[in-house]
Amino acid sequence: MNTNAELLADALESGDYKQNQGGLCRYDNRNDERPSCFCFAGVACDIYQQQTGKGEWHYSYEYDYMGSIIKNRLCFALDDFVTSVEMPRAVHEFFGFSTASANYSHGPAGHSSLICDNDDGQTFKEIAATMRQEPTDLFTESD
């Protein structure tokens, strides 16, 4: 695990981020200065932005079939890539993750990702613990 991934694990354990599922992050109140809820990948994008000064958050909406807003979330834009669900390549490479979803192997034929772990209800502290265990395939070669 590289030093940037250590920063991310520390941030996940800090209690400074309120957890969210199903999207990088969202505002509880659009007038807030910064997003209020983050998923694992959203914290990664936020830490990346703080450390590099690169990337921007953009507001987006999802609508139901009647045209009512059902979800408001933020997308992270970096260079020509905009996402609301996973880390852009520069972000996952910054932390040393092998894939944009932070996929890893556990046991015979067992596969997961830190993004799925988040959306399946694991806490940020549990996700940080998984990172620190450095499961097979989660990270590329360490610094």
Q: What is the three-class DSSP state of 127?
A: helix
Report yes or no: 125 and 131 within 8 Å, Cβ to Cβ: no
**Containing domain of residue 86, as a range?**
3-133
pLDDT at residue 11 tops 80: yes
Q: Hey, how many other C-beta atoms are within 10 angstroms of the C-beta on 39?
A: 27
Look at residues 92, 115, 130, 129 and name the one whose alpha carbon lies nearest to residue 19: 115
Predicted structure pTM score: 0.86
CA 130, CA 142: separation in Å to the nearest integer? 16
pLDDT digits (tens, 9 = 90+) for 27-56: 666 666 667 789 999 999 999 999 999 998
Tell me phi and psi for residue 52, to 5 degrees: -110, -20
CA 45, CA 56: separation in Å to the nearest integer? 9
pLDDT digits (tens, 9 = 90+) for 62-85: 666 666 655 667 788 888 788 877
- What domain count does the chain have? 1
Q: Residue 133 has what pLDDT? A: 92
In a domain, 71, yes or no: yes
